[in-house]
Structure 1
Amino acid sequence: MIRPLLMCFVLCVVSGDSKPTEQKSRVHDEPLSHLEHDDAKNYDYDHEAFLGQDAKTFDQLPPDESRRRLGIIVDKIDVNRDGFVSEEELKVWIRSAQKKHIYDSVEQQWKDFDMNDDGVISWDEYKNVTYGSYLDDPQADTEYNYSHMMARDERRFKVADTNGDLIADKQEFTAFLHPEDHEYMRDIVVQETMEDIDKNGDGFIDLKEYIGDMFTSEDGEEEPEWVASERQQFAEFRDKNNDGKMDKEETLDWILPSDYDHAEAEAKHLLHESDSNQDGKLTKDEILNKSDVFVGSQVTDFGEALLRHDEF
């Protein structure tokens, strides 16, 4: 049975006495989309990478309106107004879309946790909103280990809280929710990952633990081909010193690789898919001719007026 490897910190959108998410709060280098990147099936990954949260809006638009809005976006990407979109301009745009996604995520959750509207979030506020039901009745039967989850959240909150006052401003709360984007949070990211995967508690992640975090066989289930590929990845790239296990540095390089830029990789991919004359840059026509790569094109019965933003 396959268990997806969580690629980001998962935090529930809470209200009143809501409970923490069931899933582990695993952090990995934040991808541009949590969808599968397989152009043979669809371009959903590219849509989210290019448009951010607006991808769902575009997916609901008629094709002509989708292309019209895409043309407006192309003009915004072409910051030097030379009539072309370069790889660098694409990369800058994609990074901007990702930052906006993070900003919007923090803003949305901020309203849930800043209970007294004083512009900061204390640990007590976060704890009471997230774990209120558990704190009211710690003995209640539950499938979750809330005490462990709360202790883990508190530890991360304290690391994000740079001045140690147990009160998070907007920047500190962003670091708490998205530690993968903050250099000073990297140690806690590695610590959490190793706690999740290092089942024998020896301070390392061996091959069995590495594979077991992604795939566990049930009732004689045959191991899929991608598992063999992951074994090879472990041997050739993860375990750099060839001692059969990953230490903290190797784990850090796995979950937060310093030599891989998601935005750059996606910009290269979009350029490759759309550059019909292979001149290394895109015209508006080239992008519009490949609008299915950049945006959705479904015809739906959604009212166009309900989806229109002022910017379009």
Structure 2
Amino acid sequence: MSVLMVLQLLQRGVTQVGISMRLHARLRLWVGLAAVYLIFMGFVYLLQVPLRSNTLHSHYDLSAEGVRAKHHDIVKKEAEKYAQAALRVPNVNMDVVEQIRILTETFRKADTNGDGLLELTELSSWISSKIKEHLNLALKENFFMFTAIDLNPRNGMVSWEEYHRYFLKQHGYSDEYIETHKENHKGMPRELKETIMRDKASWSEAARDNPEQLTIDEFLAFRHPESSHATILGIVEETIGRLDLDENGVLNEEEFSDPDLNEVPDDLTEELFRLERLDEFRVADEDKNGKLERHELLRYIDPRNIHHAEKEAVSLFSAADSNQDAVLTLKEILAKKEVFMVSKMIDAARSFHDEF
């Protein structure tokens, strides 16, 4: 036998030994893991340790089993808190002292560089943050309010009767009144009657499938249309359907800015309206191809788009910057407090609801 053959046999033997050792190591590892698992399961069986929590459940479980779970009372209390806040009628007759306090406090928060002057970028940034804060709160509030109202039966739908009963209850009306009241609510304050009428109209717009009941998404469109993707999509389709004269599925500058196809505000001439709409078109036309497509219009209408905050800030500057120095002082803001108190700078919720 030659030396070469001996070396080859030795090399083959070493390789086989190495493979055998690796197999044995893997086998020992798997045996060890199996033993650990068996010991663990033995403890589980002997000590009755649950492998799944019996006390925690998703707050988004709207099924009958979910609402009967152990934390139902906690969810209900949270729902009550948000629902009561949502139904609270805003105090439009707030006294002057309170308005001044709110405006002063907000001015100081928005004045990020602390120089006592509010620049356009500071105001835009503040309004943008208030818009996002409102939209996020609206989503949370919608779930909790829906949960608080969807009780009889709890079927994942809220009927007008359920909502109306809850509305009356939250405004201090007794169970007896709720059960026996007449449809015209004789003796009820006019402000509340008007709120109910507005709610009924909004309900009809939000109900897509069943006019008497709303899903949780439809309920969002009812309470907070500015937060509802379905509402924004509806606005996009309505806008294109109304303005797309050549029916090619996109809007051009002429269609978008035509005063005859749009509602011109009383404080604008048709020419000024056209110029403003052309500016809006150029902002919305992201790829600058002279065509406004659905996805561009959707992003433009979305309240989270920064242009809404910038437009609001420019409007407030126009109303309050009396010396035209491109900054606002607290004195200038207080001189126009009635304008600022209903703006998104102070009350994004009310401002959005007036728009939608």
TM-score, structure 1 length as denominator?
Answer: 0.40
Where relative contact order (Cα < 8 A, 6+ residues apart) is larger, the structure is 1
Greater CA radius of gyration, 1 or 2? Answer: 2
Q: Which has the higher helix share?
A: 2
